[in-house]
Amino acid sequence: MNLRASLKMLGPLVALLVVYFGFGISEPAMFNRTVIINILSQSVIVGIAAVGMTLIIISGGIDLSVGSIIAWTGVIAAFLIDQSLSPILVFLTAILCGGLCGFLNGSLSIWLRLMPFIVTLGTMQIYRGSAKIFTGGTPINLPFDETRYQLWMGGTGFPYGIFLLLVICIFTSWILHYTRFGRHAIAIGSSPATARLCGIPVLRTQIFVYVIGGAMAGLAAMMNVAKSSQGDPTTALGLELDIIAAVVLGGARLTGGQGSVIGAVIGALLMTCIRTGCVMHGIPTPWTEVITGIIIIIAVVVDRLRQRHTLC
Amino acid sequence: MESPRLASTTSRLVMQGIAKTFGSTNALRDVDLEVLPGEVHAIVGENGAGKSTLMQILSGAIKPDRGQMFLDGKNYAPRHPRQAREVGIGMIYQELSIVPDLTVEENIMLGNEPMCGPVIRKSLLRQRALKALAHFQHPDLQPNHLAGSLSLAVKQLVEIARALASGCRLLIFDEPTSSLGKEEISQLFRVIRGLKAQGVSILYISHHLEEIHAISDRITILRDGASVATLTTSQSNDDQIIGHMVGRAIDDLYPQKKSNRQSKILCAESIRTHHHAGCTSFELHRGEVLGIAGLIGSGRTELLRCLFGLAKPHSGNITLDGKVIDPCHRIGWQHGIGYLSENRKEEGLALDLPISENLTLSHLHAYSRCGVLSPRSQAKGTQHWIKQLKIKCASHNQTTRNLSGGNQQKIAFARLLDHGVEIFLLDEPTRGIDISAKASMYEIIRTLVDDAEKPRAVLMVSSYLPELFALCDRIAVMHDGQLSSTVEIASTDAHEVMRIATGSQPDFLAHTRA
């Protein structure tokens, strides 16, 4: 794996560096410590969820409900924090809740034999609606003195969330490349018939992939709560598309079999970097969106050209 | 009937000194080819001899570096495939390009619809489609049926009709029989003879020498990118053709057989699949190759899938070393059974994964501890088989897609070997691979069963009778899910096997034991 995988990661990394230094040359404030920390911490939520999404996409699936899982799990976590539950238990509950949502996604698409696109299109609405029902439509606001959680995403020092993203990213990448489960997931995405022929437990592996994806979304939800100090049922609306974009920017193929966890995190950083750079240059938000879209398309086209080149 | 060759003095197609280089590889060095009007001209050659490059040049998909082409005496240098179609060159590819959700007539006229402004002229479209379909009277070919519901053989006819509707003078067939049954092949041959009688020239690419003998007038043999000989079919034999193909005489395509049959290992009792009415019983012994002949669709693949556990039998028992295996709860690997799929590209291999991954996918547990893999031992295991089976590849990390069919098949087979299975279920193990790769597959298979210390058992399904007869110790024939009794290979012949396979002589047993 090593050489090939690291070459594959090089593409997104080069794109990230080009964009970062491109903005940095005309606006040196990009190189400030606070701006760097800001870019990193803004990437944490999308990044963590993108790690889980990479696993799902590599195994040939997709999860459109991840934004809703973040909202629904966030609401529950905020409720528990409000009830003064200890932070460890809150974290565990969020991971469990996200994992259950993922389990529902995976098992529904397998038992009903539906495409995951359809199933998660449905559960996207279900989880979002549940969050709104649970809170009665209004956010659960946390008291401002909840400093224990703020350290994860803000505060004065280096936010813990960045370390969390780093650890998760490395760990998942290791799982993908060096464990049987990881290789099975890739094989299933690459050729489901071959996986079945080789006696791989296809259904179990697929469900487990969705559970991990959901659990990662649960962790992302915790970071979201820590960042906004509230459990808002309307948060992370449309975030699933940012997350999928990050995964694709990282070199994943939407039909499965190919993808990189580290690439996905770089993809998340790339998108934050574009947004931050645009803000610092005073480019209005609508233009930022246009630029982000263009860069996503260019990156994917360049990646494809590069792969075709190495084939010959 | 008057020979069409006398009717016209100009050649339909002439290719002179065609050469094409990709990067550093000479795909074609020097090809000369002449096709007469109304001639069926076969092109043979091993995989990698340059057949597909030559066809791509003819169809305008790529341009040659050197050489000239003439179509009916006029200079022919297509810039893109559409131009080739316009001047009357039609291609029938192995992978058919039929749109399943359109009707037969729409498929025939696809890209060539008679228009009135932006509107398709339906009646004219029907008329032209019917004219093209008139070349072959076939009951299943109704212009208003959905193409997706047709069988593969009929889809192929639709594709031929499409070429004819666009006024084709030269029709190129690339391995047209690879997924057809015996009856469908003879139907295709009738169609080809009909086209020939109307003066259409045919280029026929195939691995199957019998077919080439049956249908072609002349044969051009390609080797290493050059045309080495053009023979008149009626005056040539297989040895000659193969000799030209490989550049040396192949006298030992098939290995020597030892008789090494030992104890019974697998026993199937009245297995019935879900698709067929008949049922199947047989015994497989260590140290033998048991061949299963039969037509495509007779239920041979279903039987293997049931034995392996990829499909559930409708009824019946499978006994392994005297123990009945629960049909609900098994996949062959756990019982020392390995299955080589007939569908190498979609099922046999995950083409985008590296060689080592494909080779070890069924038994990653052997290369891992507590679920954590050791890539080093995986690489070592793979390299062993790359060396042992002489698989041509850059490294064990290479993507499987870039290898030739023969090398891909060796990797799929090496998975069974590396897994260490005792029973090999081989489904069309030599389909679509070239002659040298076939020879080495035969050798591997025989070594497995003839091994003195640990003889393995092989159950082999093949549609190619000569290889079954050369390789197997015993043979049985499948007809509509019903397997005949097993007989010694020496006590039967190809004629007999075909009779049972086609259902004209159901009682094999009485005949051979008498």
- A186 and B CB contact within 8 Å: yes
Is residue B6 over pLDDT 70?
Answer: no
Quote the pLDDT of residue B175. 84
Report how far residue A41's alpha carbon sits from residue A32's, in angstroms, rounded to the nearest whole number.
Answer: 14
Query: Chain A closest CA to B382's CA: distance in Å?
Result: 14
Q: Which amino acid is at A142?
A: L
* Residue of chain A with shortest Cα separation from B359: A198
Whether residue A220 sits in one domain with residue A138:
yes
pLDDT (mean) for B410-429: 95
Whether residue A284 sits in one domain with residue A198:
no
Contact yes or no for A257 and B349 at CB 8 A: no
pLDDT (mean) for B241-261: 76
Q: Are A99 and A215 in contact (CB under 8 A)?
A: yes
Contact yes or no for B349 and A179 at CB 8 A: no
Quote the pLDDT of residue B254. 84
**Within a domain: residue A50?**
no
Whether residue A187 sits in one domain with residue A97:
yes
* Residue of chain A with shortest Cα separation from B348: A194
- A183 and B CB contact within 8 Å: yes
Q: Identify all chain B residues contacting A194, using CB atoms and an 8 Å cutoff.
A: 346-350, 358, 361
pLDDT (mean) for A203-219: 96
Quote the pLDDT of residue B7. 39
Please say whether the dihedral angle defined by the alpha carbons of residues B366, B371, B374 and B378, taken in this order, is positive or negative. Answer: positive
Q: Which of B304, B347, B395, B416 to mutate to test the interface with A (most CBs of A within 10 A)?
A: B347
Report how far residue A60's alpha carbon sits from residue A57's, in angstroms, rounded to the nearest whole number.
Answer: 5
- Confidence label for A312 from pLDDT (cuts 50, 70 and 90): very low
Phi, psi (5° rounding) for residue B326? -70, 120
Query: Chain A closest CA to B49's CA: distance in Å?
Result: 19
Contact yes or no for A186 and B353 at CB 8 A: yes
Whether residue A176 sits in one domain with residue A117:
yes
Q: Chain-wide mean pLDDT for chain B?
A: 86
Share of chain B above pLDDT 90, in %: 39
* Residue of chain B with shortest Cα separation from A1: B397
* Residue of chain A with shortest Cα separation from B310: A197
**Within a domain: residue A233?**
yes
User: Which helix or strand (DSSP H or E) is residue B142 part of?
Assistant: none
Whether residue A174 sits in one domain with residue A79:
yes
Per-residue tokens: A92 = 């565990």
Query: Chain B closest CA to A171's CA: distance in Å?
Result: 13
Is residue B341 over pLDDT 70?
Answer: yes
Quote the pLDDT of residue B119. 85
Contact yes or no for B353 and A179 at CB 8 A: no
Whether residue A245 sits in one domain with residue A204:
no
Relative orientation angle of helices A66-82 and A116-135, to the nearest 10 degrees: 30
Contact yes or no for B350 and A190 at CB 8 A: yes
Q: Identify all chain B residues contacting A181, using CB atoms and an 8 Å cutoff.
A: 371
The pLDDT tens digits of the residues spanning A8-38 come to 667 788 889 999 999 999 989 989 988 999 9
**Within a domain: residue A26?**
no
Quote the pLDDT of residue A5. 55
Q: For residue A308, count other CB atoms closer than 10 A to its CB.
A: 9
Query: Chain B closest CA to A4's CA: distance in Å?
Result: 9
**Within a domain: residue A4?**
no
pLDDT (mean) for A160-171: 95
Comparing CA positions, the residue from A76, A227, A235, A70 lying closest to residue A146 is A227
pLDDT (mean) for B377-401: 91
Angle B414-B419-B422 (CA atoms, 0-180°, nearest 5)? 100
Q: Length of chain A, please?
A: 312
Whether residue A285 sits in one domain with residue A210:
no
SS (H, E, C) B255-278: CCCCCCCCCEEEEEEEEECCCCCC
Quote the pLDDT of residue B417. 95
Comparing CA positions, the residue from B397, B401, B299 lying closest to residue B344 is B401
Whether residue A268 sits in one domain with residue A192:
no
Q: For residue B404, count other CB atoms closer than 10 A to its CB.
A: 17
- A219, A237, A255: which is the final residue of a domain? A237
Report how far residue B108's alpha carbon sits from residue B168's, in angstroms, rounded to the nearest whole number.
Answer: 13
- Confidence label for B3 from pLDDT (cuts 50, 70 and 90): very low
Quote the pLDDT of residue B211. 87
Per-residue tokens: B187 = 């139907």
Quote the pLDDT of residue A144. 63
Is residue B512 over pLDDT 90?
Answer: no
Comparing CA positions, the residue from B497, B423, B462 lying closest to residue B342 is B462
Torsion of CA B403, B406, B412, B418, to 10 degrees: -100
Q: Are B228 and B244 in contact (CB under 8 A)?
A: yes
Half-sphere exposure of B69 (CA within 13 A, CB side): 24
Question: What domain range is A290 assigned to?
Answer: 238-312
Quote the pLDDT of residue B507. 47
Report how far residue A21's alpha carbon sits from residue A30's, in angstroms, rounded to the nearest whole number.
Answer: 8
Contact yes or no for B415 and A195 at CB 8 A: no
pLDDT (mean) for A113-131: 95
Burial code (b: 16+ CB inside 10 Å, e: under 16) for A246-263 equals bbbbbbbbeebbbbbbbb
The pLDDT tens digits of the residues spanning B137-152 come to 778 788 888 888 888 8
Please identify among residues 209-248 of chain A the ones whose CB lies closer than 8 Å to any CB of chain B.
Answer: none
Q: Which amino acid is at B122?
A: K
Residues of B with CB under 8 A from a CB of A: 22-23, 310, 331-334, 339, 341, 343, 346-354, 357-358, 361-362, 364-365, 368, 371-373, 375, 397, 402, 415
pTM of the model: 0.79
- A299 and B CB contact within 8 Å: no
Contact yes or no for B348 and A257 at CB 8 A: no
- A237, A255, A280: which is the final residue of a domain? A237
**Within a domain: residue A5?**
no
Comparing CA positions, the residue from B81, B455, B58 lying closest to residue B263 is B455
- For residue B173, CA distances in Å to A292, A308, B170, B328 come to 48, 29, 10, 44
**Within a domain: residue A34?**
no
Contact yes or no for A180 and B361 at CB 8 A: no
- A255 and B CB contact within 8 Å: no
- A204 and B CB contact within 8 Å: no
Q: How many domains does chain A have?
A: 2
- Mean pLDDT is lowest, of A130-134, B45-49, B156-160, B491-495, for B45-49
Per-residue tokens: A280 = 């610092």
Per-residue tokens: B461 = 């399904």
Q: For residue B514, count other CB atoms closer than 10 A to its CB.
A: 5
Whether residue A223 sits in one domain with residue A78:
yes
- Mean pLDDT is lowest, of A289-303, B52-66, B249-263, for B249-263
**Which residues pair with residue B319 across a beta bridge?**
B267, B324
Question: Residue A180: which of B23, B310, B373 has the nearest Cβ?
Answer: B373
Comparing CA positions, the residue from B343, B369, B357 lying closest to residue A188 is B357
**Within a domain: residue A11?**
no
Question: Residue A197: which of B22, B347, B397 has the nearest Cβ?
Answer: B347
Per-residue tokens: B507 = 């009682």
Quote the pLDDT of residue A166. 96
Whether residue A173 sits in one domain with residue A305:
no
Contact yes or no for A194 and B361 at CB 8 A: yes
Interchain CB contacts (distance < 8 Å): A and B: 82
Whether residue A221 sits in one domain with residue A98:
yes
* Residue of chain B with shortest Cα separation from A5: B397
pLDDT (mean) for A301-310: 68
- A213, A237, A261: which is the final residue of a domain? A237
DSSP per position, B349-406: --TTSBHHHHHHGGGGGGGEETTEE-HHHHHHHHHHHHHHTT---S-TTSBGGGS-HH
* Residue of chain B with shortest Cα separation from A311: B402
Question: Residue A179: which of B350, B361, B373 has the nearest Cβ?
Answer: B373
Residue A218 DSSP SS3: helix
Report how far residue A123's alpha carbon sits from residue A106's, in angstroms, rounded to the nearest whole number.
Answer: 11
Residue A154 DSSP SS3: coil
Quote the pLDDT of residue B313. 87
- Mean pLDDT is lowest, of B95-104, B359-368, B444-453, B483-492, for B95-104
Report strand pairing: B457-461 vs B474-479: unpaired
Q: For residue B317, count other CB atoms closer than 10 A to its CB.
A: 14
Share of chain B above pLDDT 70, in %: 93
- Confidence label for A137 from pLDDT (cuts 50, 70 and 90): confident
Is residue B418 over pLDDT 60?
Answer: yes
The pLDDT tens digits of the residues spanning A99-108 come to 999 999 999 9
Whether residue A224 sits in one domain with residue A90:
yes
Q: Are B147 and B158 in contact (CB under 8 A)?
A: yes
Is residue B8 over pLDDT 60?
Answer: no
**Within a domain: residue A38?**
no
Burial (CB < 10 A; 0-12, 13-18, 19+), residue B507, is exposed
